[in-house]
């Protein structure tokens, strides 16, 4: 089974840095998640596809996360897990397939106390 967990979240990475990292250390299908710098409070999936890197904005409505208005998720971890396990569900707007196969692990796990990447929405509610 593929590694699934929050270590694919890179909390201090820009889009250009994500491209460099995926180009140097990744292969086609490698991905990472990071905060969106253009939309504070939202996230971005950066995915290597062949020799290119695609950035996918994850919309954060404060109630749920989604991509392009599709499936809705309570946590970033749930979203990533879903698209890793359901190949063929994640596509570019033009229909090209995007595969999340190999998480690019952060060498510096997040120290943000608010980030709990491995819990469900119900578990988060209990913590509040």
pLDDT in tens, 60-77: 888 899 887 778 999 999
Residue 116 is part of a domain; what is its CATH number?
Answer: 3.30.505.10
Roughly how many angstroms between the first and final C-alpha of the chain, as a whole number? Answer: 32
* Cβ pair 47, 31 in contact under 8 A: yes
Q: Whole-model pTM?
A: 0.77
- Identify the helix (H) or strand (E) that includes residue 84: helix 76-85
Is residue 123 assigned to a domain?
A: yes
Query: Which residue range(s) make up the domain with 82?
Result: 6-127
Would you state the pLDDT for residue 85? 94
Domain count, the chain: 1
In this prediction, the residues of the chain whose per-residue pLDDT falls under 50 are 1-5
Would you state the pLDDT for residue 91? 86
Would you state the pLDDT for residue 116? 62
Would you state the pLDDT for residue 80? 93
Is residue 1 assigned to a domain?
A: no
């Amino acid at each position: 089974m593929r590694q699934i967990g929050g270590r694919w979240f890179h909390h201090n990475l820009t889009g250009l840095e994500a491209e460099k990292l995926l180009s140097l250390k990744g292969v086609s299908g490698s991905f990472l998640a990071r905060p969106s710098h253009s939309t504070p409070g939202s996230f971005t999936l950066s995915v290597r596809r062949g020799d290119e890197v695609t950035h996918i904005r994850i919309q954060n409505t404060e109630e749920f996360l989604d991509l392009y208005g599709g499936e809705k998720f309570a946590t970033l971890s749930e979203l990533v897990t879903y698209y890793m396990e359901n190949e063929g569900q994640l596509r570019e707007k033009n229909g090209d397939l995007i595969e999340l196969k190999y998480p690019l692990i952060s060498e510096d796990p997040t120290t943000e106390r608010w980030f709990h990447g491995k819990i469900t929405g119900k578990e988060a509610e209990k913590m509040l």
